[in-house]
Structure 1
Amino acid sequence: MKKQRIQQVLATDKKAKPQTDQLEFGRVFTDHMFIMDYSSESGWHDARIVPYEPLTIDPAAMIFHYGQSVFEGLKAYITPTGEAQLFRPEKNMERLNRSNDRLCIPRIDESFAIEAIKQLVSIDKEWIPTSEGTSLYIRPFIISTEPYLGVAPSNHYKFIVILSPVGAYYKEGINPVKIAVENKFVRAVKGGTGEAKTGGNYAAGLMAQELVANKGFAQVLWLDGVEKKYIEEVGSMNVFFKINGEVITPALNGSILEGVTRNSVIQLLKSWNVPVTERKISMEEIYDAHKQGSLEEAFGSGTAAVISPIGQLTWDEQDLVINEGKTGKTAKRVYDTLTAIQYGKEEDPFNWISKI
């Protein structure tokens, strides 16, 4: 794939930036965005950074009708010395290409995509908030744009990157959240698109999410789509359980998203000699461990929330309160270490950080 130059057209009118204490997740966007086009004749071409603005797309564009799209999520952080940096962007681009493969979307040049993201963040660096727990969320995504109503892979695409200054994903922050175990609806099954980061997976989870949100839950915990027995992931996070000193997370099985934060948590725990296992784990096992008093902690992991302790799981109308509803020591240590590395406050022994 031939490297190309990124054209830049800078905004003349800059938008007002929000106050840090008013930041919500994904509501405000910066002055610029990156766009690159694809056609079957020319491949990926016309890479450019332009002012943030609405897109003009044909009503027959295939994205509207067949949902051929993929996306990623990562963040930029400001260090105490004022440098901007990314956390493991190469893992996000690797996963984007795996999602591309599953959705029949042409692969992108991963190193070029990272360079484009760095240029875009550098231009909008002043949008990166500096208060504790805040960051600049980066959303790369690809949509199919060919105007055609036949059911087939598109011949035209747009790869776009937008930026959004964000605060905490959950209003609870690092405080424990309440999660409802989903028994009725199914998000994904092995052989489907569960391991790809595509919009349809999230659309499939909205009904369950809405129903539990009305009852005060932050998210749903999905079980496998066949037996509805084995734990998979939370709506926007992978999930971990600490039982008798061992940390257990569901093994990747074709219907679970391979989280970048998940991978980082596993590496951290192993470096601390904390026993960590990837395997099938049933809700029955979690219930029994809770009943016996051996379920010490539960927490989710993801780019948006980083680490989110789970203070309560509700399953079949039974409330399983975990660690007295308090943040566990392991979750807190993982959160503190990951965020310290991300913000450049602690040494990065894993070579995770990419400077801008």
Structure 2
Amino acid sequence: MFEVHQNPQPRTEAERAAILADPGFGLHFSDHMALATWTADLGWHDREVGAYRPFQLDPASAVLHYAQEIFEGLKAYRHANDSIWLFRPDKNAERFARSAARLALPVLPTEDFLSSIETLVTTDQAWVPGGGESNLYIRPFMFANEVFLGVRPARTVTYCCIASPAAAYFPNGVQPVNIWLSMNYVRAAGPGGMGAAKTGGNYAASLVAQQEAYEHGCEQVLFLDGAERKWVEELGGMNVYLVAGDELITPALEGTILEGVTRDSVLTLGAERGLVIQERRIAIDEVLDGIESGAITEIFACGTAAVINPIGSIKTAEKTYTINGGQSGPHTDGLRSTLLDIQYGRAEDTHGWMHKVC
């Protein structure tokens, strides 16, 4: 259990109201955070929800030198009756445990992961916005906090969870994005690497390619596999799907792709729409040829932050391939609406995905 220690200096109601009126994304944070410490001799201890505050890190703290850290991302949703819910937090707990094992970090028990989030959200429930697609974005993370220089797993680890009120990810509405196909950089080395772990190093590795995408007038970057530069993997921070006829196709999980919670949900909802689900290797040539021939009619990306977003074009150094005239498609829009309706309580949750907090 996470013991609550109230922040003695929380934001005033007026300050909080001003933030919730225009929160943006990832810019403001609630009054409290969850903390726990792991040491090799004591295991997990000192669980608390206390005042949001800066960390004091020693310059020799292991995470600063060896990047031994992981994180998660999920949301709390305020329903029309003012109740607050999480979406499939058990899946985030499972992925957090897998990431920890891959980074040689201690596994936080599922009950502690869920308790930290539930206690934080309950304590800061006034920070959960309502209306539209606003929500409270939740960021659990863990990092090596032992003071030492040496290449070995840390013997002191900090777990923390913070929360940030967020408006709709796309304030001007969902628009198809242009994607740059990276041929110079890869996100993950291959099976046995860290591609399936949610660790900051994977995102750091994507930034130079993302910068290249901006230089070519694109909003996001698509990565291929590290071995052959032939097989589609994922975007810098989202999984990718193709629609071809009655088929919904996404790259298979082969140890190099993040096992997204939204990705898994789309598989279920796509099948319910009557689409034939395919998880398999997808050659980039198949994608580009399919766009040109019209066999591929929709491409979209999905993730916790953006939910589902249509892809309007894929750009290479030689050519721009436009999908569906640069417009979103019916399956993309339908899947997005269905998923949001479940998350915000506007549709029945027949899968038991929603988890009530308060």
Q: Does 1:71 align with 2:67?
A: no
Q: Give yes or no for contact 1:62–1:144 (8 Å, CA) kept in 2.
A: yes
Question: Residue 156 of structure 2 aligns with which residue?
Answer: 156
Distance 1:146 1:111 in 2: 25
Give the alignment of 1:270-285 within 5 angstroms: 270-285=271-286
Give the alignment of 1:298-337 within 5 angstroms: 298-337=299-338
Q: 1:10 aligns with which of 6, 9, 14?
A: 6
Give the alignment of 1:147-186 within 5 angstroms: 147-170=147-170, 173-186=173-186
Q: Give yes or no for contact 2:189–2:195 (8 Å, CA) kept in 1.
A: yes
Give the alignment of 1:52-63 within 5 angstroms: 52-63=52-63
Distance 1:312 1:227 in 2: 23
What is the percent sequence identity of the aligned residues? 41
Q: Give yes or no for contact 2:246–2:274 (8 Å, CA) kept in 1.
A: no
Question: Residue 224 of structure 1 aligns with which residue?
Answer: 225
Letter of the 2:2 counterpart? I
Change (3 A) 1:80 1:171: closer
**CA deviation after TM superposition for structure 1 residue 19, in Å:** 4.3
**CA deviation after TM superposition for structure 1 residue 22, in Å:** 2.7
Q: Give yes or no for contact 2:144–2:158 (8 Å, CA) kept in 1.
A: yes
SS at match of 2:336: helix
Identify the range of structure 1 (69-78 vs 174-183) with the bigger mean alpha-carbon deviation. 174-183
**CA deviation after TM superposition for structure 1 residue 24, in Å:** 1.9
Distance 1:269 1:103 in 2: 33
Q: Does 1:207 align with 2:208?
A: yes
CA displacement 1:40-59 (0-9 Å, x = unmatched)? 01000010001101001211
CA displacement 1:226-284 (0-9 Å, x = unmatched)? 11111000111000001122111000011100000000000111122211100000110
SS at match of 1:117: helix
Identify the range of structure 1 (25-34 vs 269-278) with the bigger mean alpha-carbon deviation. 269-278
Q: Give yes or no for contact 2:180–2:216 (8 Å, CA) kept in 1.
A: no
Q: Give yes or no for contact 2:300–2:332 (8 Å, CA) kept in 1.
A: yes
Q: Give yes or no for contact 2:132–2:168 (8 Å, CA) kept in 1.
A: no
CA displacement 1:135-191 (0-9 Å, x = unmatched)? 100000000000010100000001100000112334564221111111101111221
Q: Give yes or no for contact 1:189–1:254 (8 Å, CA) kept in 2.
A: no
Distance 2:354 2:241 in 1: 24
Identify the range of structure 1 (312-321 vs 151-160) with the bigger mean alpha-carbon deviation. 312-321
**CA deviation after TM superposition for structure 1 residue 196, in Å:** 0.3
SS at match of 2:55: coil
Question: Residue 288 of structure 2 aligns with which residue?
Answer: 287
The count of aligned residue pairs is 352
Letter of the 2:353 counterpart? W
Q: Give yes or no for contact 1:299–1:309 (8 Å, CA) kept in 2.
A: yes
How does the TM-score come out when normalised to structure 2?
0.96
Q: Give yes or no for contact 1:173–1:308 (8 Å, CA) kept in 2.
A: no
SS at match of 1:205: helix
**CA deviation after TM superposition for structure 1 residue 218, in Å:** 1.4
Distance 2:130 2:215 in 1: 33
Question: Residue 141 of structure 2 aligns with which residue?
Answer: 141
Distance 2:95 2:173 in 1: 26
Distance 1:186 1:236 in 2: 13
Q: Identify unmatched segments of 5+ residues in structure 1.
A: none
Letter of the 1:89 counterpart? P
How does the TM-score come out when normalised to structure 1?
0.96
Question: Residue 117 of structure 2 aligns with which residue?
Answer: 117
SS at match of 1:221: strand
SS at match of 2:184: coil
Q: Give yes or no for contact 1:197–1:257 (8 Å, CA) kept in 2.
A: yes
Q: Give yes or no for contact 1:20–1:131 (8 Å, CA) kept in 2.
A: no
CA displacement 1:271-300 (0-9 Å, x = unmatched)? 222111000001100111112111110000
Question: Residue 242 of structure 1 aligns with which residue?
Answer: 243
Distance 1:168 1:233 in 2: 23
SS at match of 1:277: strand
Question: Residue 343 of structure 1 aligns with which residue?
Answer: 344
Distance 1:112 1:103 in 2: 19
CA displacement 1:322-347 (0-9 Å, x = unmatched)? 11111111011111011111011110
Task: Report the RMSD for the aligned CA atoms in angstroms.
Answer: 1.2
Distance 1:236 1:170 in 2: 16
Letter of the 2:345 counterpart? G
Q: Does 1:353 align with 2:349?
A: no
Question: Residue 82 of structure 1 aligns with which residue?
Answer: 82
Q: Identify unmatched segments of 5+ residues in structure 2.
A: none
Distance 1:216 1:25 in 2: 22
Change (3 A) 1:139 1:265: same
Distance 1:65 1:321 in 2: 43
